[in-house]
Structure 1
């Protein structure tokens, strides 16, 4: 009996017309209920009253459609809120200067803009300043020197295109030239020897030298001997052109740790046409049969 009653509750799952299904379950419930009442009528007096409570009650399910639900009643809009705000705005009378006290909204106050920054916002840290380049050291210009010291000539820090001429040099005097740049120096006379040290783009022209001229630590210099000099020594120099006269063509060159060396000399006696030849920088060294070292100029200079 209870089983039949519980099955009647499944009418919600019946498609289209649930009423016939409910009626069949109710009939089954009545059938089993009547059998129980007849059998236990004299034994249990309270069963008839219990049965009445088991009878199904409820609304009509004849027109029920699965999945359909009665539309809920639309809720009335709540009083107040944004409706009141917009209503208040519309009611403002803009005539007679009543809105003159309202603050104008500028571009920087419009929150939808990318450049908007609220008050109290942490400012974006500025990019670190680029490191300053080290200042170019100021070149100290030393005073030019051209004087005779202890019987020798001292020429230092000469600059400029104006030629410097030193005359009256004798064969007992040494001439020391140091730290000149972009200068032209003329030596008149016959010096004992000449030292040309740490000069740049400087021209040196001299008459004669008893022993030698030494070119040391120079760059881009030119040296011309108008007479005779037995030896030219070139050391730690980059870029050197030596002019030799026809009389001084038997000069010898001693070089070390230098590059871009050239010598120019006349094509013949009394000729003003000079031939320029490179002084070799590359050599080929061999061990001979007697276990000594032989050195020959590289074939690069054979032409």
Structure 2
């Protein structure tokens, strides 16, 4: 038993030794493979590092060449030796990555919806085509203004902002002038569509939620666009496409403002002085962005100096004034009058009446500076006189510039209609039925005969007006008006009358005067204010006596 056991152990040890040797050989083999792989990996790593170093060196060699090419291009683009905008502003005034998104998006508007609108306007032709050119000028001017806001700080004064926005303002006035000058035109609704909506570009001056402002202007334009669509949908589809294209243009502008300027126009706090951009002619390329894609024309030459004052020659002859000499003269006391010339009796006007009659004064030592003749007053016949107008625009009646006309009648007014009366003289307006509200603005010696008003009657900046209410109205408001007569009916005895900065306003109440006539009651103009328990109490001032 013992021998067998020993033999078994002997055999077991050999097996174990053989297994250990085999395992050791396998491990050595694996380690050799790993060493070979690591050697190759180190070689590969070294090769990659060498490639990176070579690439970096090539980039260093290429960068100066590219910079020189860009600099040469900018030098060629500058006009009259003036630096371009990119070279004149600081490096942190806005890189291409900062400039591109907003300008790229705006260029998308000018190259897309605006271009389509211009093409359709050209097809229709006439005043619509002419007006569209000014619309294009507006969007180009606004693109330049956005570019300036990216490159400069916020203007410190309103005057600077107004000068920067002036190109846009001039184009806006031109657009509106087409509408005013073509009222009899069959395309008046087209022109009004543009003039009502183009004011949306004023979002740059809105500090909070400018996209809402654009939306409001778009809604105003939509009213006239719907008229165009209704009139031409069965006639010419090009007019319908034209109206839709302009509304799409405003819609894209609203989306643009909402995306890039949701809280108002953004200026560059590290940019250049905005006053340096006043008067410069920006020539931005709509197909590219960044400062390198624009150039500046030199600023206009300064205006010539003003003419010298009329007394400059006298001052130059005397030379500079020495203050020490002045004080020396003052300290002379009574002897200061020694050099005065004695005036004889025949030279005194109060002793020689003939001098007063001749009114001749010696010109010795005195320079008389004659003024030119005063400009004669402008004849009244040459004064600009606007033609009278009575039109219904939407739900708003406009009556203006009537003189010496007592037969102005609105007989087909509706309850949702508004009436605006402006600049009338010596005229009478009659409105039958019930309307929403009436406003009388800047009228003289004008009368209004009104049926009923749902809201109010407002009188502003008028002189000598009369208003008679035949039916009922809840409120009459009088502001900055001199002399007014208000005649009420029995139905509106409970009316509220609000006055401010007005004088000689009288209310005529029916049925309480002699023989049942009107009784005139003046509205107080003087108030007496007292302080009672820390409160200010004002009551009309009454005069007794």
**TM-score between both structures, scaled by the size of structure 2:** 0.30
The equivalent of 1:194 in structure 2 is 438
Give the SS at the match of 2:448.
Answer: strand
Counterpart check, 1:295 vs 2:538? yes
Alignment of 1:1-303 (within 5 A): 131-137=373-379, 138-268=382-512, 273-289=517-533, 291-300=534-543
For residues 194 and 203 of structure 1, the distance between their equivalents in structure 2, rounded to whole angstroms, comes to 13
Q: CA 1:203–1:272 in structure 2 vs 1: closer, same or farther (change >3 Å)?
A: farther
Deviation at 1:133, TM superposition (A): 4.7
More helix by share: 2
Q: CA 1:254–1:129 in structure 2 vs 1: closer, same or farther (change >3 Å)?
A: closer
The equivalent of 2:124 in structure 1 is none
Residues 267-294 of structure 1 show CA distances to partners (whole Å, capped at 9, x for unaligned) of 259x7511011111111111121x1211
Residues 183-219 of structure 1 show CA distances to partners (whole Å, capped at 9, x for unaligned) of 1110111111110100001111100001110000000
For residues 210 and 240 of structure 1, the distance between their equivalents in structure 2, rounded to whole angstroms, comes to 22
Over aligned residue pairs, what C-alpha RMSD do you find? 2.1
Residues 154-177 of structure 1 show CA distances to partners (whole Å, capped at 9, x for unaligned) of 111111143111112122111111
Residues 82-116 of structure 1 show CA distances to partners (whole Å, capped at 9, x for unaligned) of xxxxxxxxxxxxxxxxxxxxxxxxxxxxxxxxxxx
Deviation at 1:222, TM superposition (A): 0.7
- Contact 1:154 1:177 (8 Å CA) reproduced: yes
Moved over 6 A (4+): none
For residues 299 and 287 of structure 1, the distance between their equivalents in structure 2, rounded to whole angstroms, comes to 18
Q: CA 1:130–1:226 in structure 2 vs 1: closer, same or farther (change >3 Å)?
A: same
For residues 268 and 260 of structure 1, the distance between their equivalents in structure 2, rounded to whole angstroms, comes to 21
- Any unmatched runs of 5+ in structure 2? 1-369
Residues 28-82 of structure 1 show CA distances to partners (whole Å, capped at 9, x for unaligned) of xxxxxxxxxxxxxxxxxxxxxxxxxxxxxxxxxxxxxxxxxxxxxxxxxxxxxxx
For residues 170 and 285 of structure 1, the distance between their equivalents in structure 2, rounded to whole angstroms, comes to 44
- Contact 1:246 1:268 (8 Å CA) reproduced: no
**TM-score between both structures, scaled by the size of structure 1:** 0.54
- Any unmatched runs of 5+ in structure 1? 1-127
More strand by share: 1
For residues 166 and 299 of structure 1, the distance between their equivalents in structure 2, rounded to whole angstroms, comes to 42
For residues 129 and 145 of structure 1, the distance between their equivalents in structure 2, rounded to whole angstroms, comes to 44
Q: CA 1:282–1:150 in structure 2 vs 1: closer, same or farther (change >3 Å)?
A: same
- Contact 1:205 1:226 (8 Å CA) reproduced: yes
Q: CA 1:233–1:205 in structure 2 vs 1: closer, same or farther (change >3 Å)?
A: same
The equivalent of 1:91 in structure 2 is none
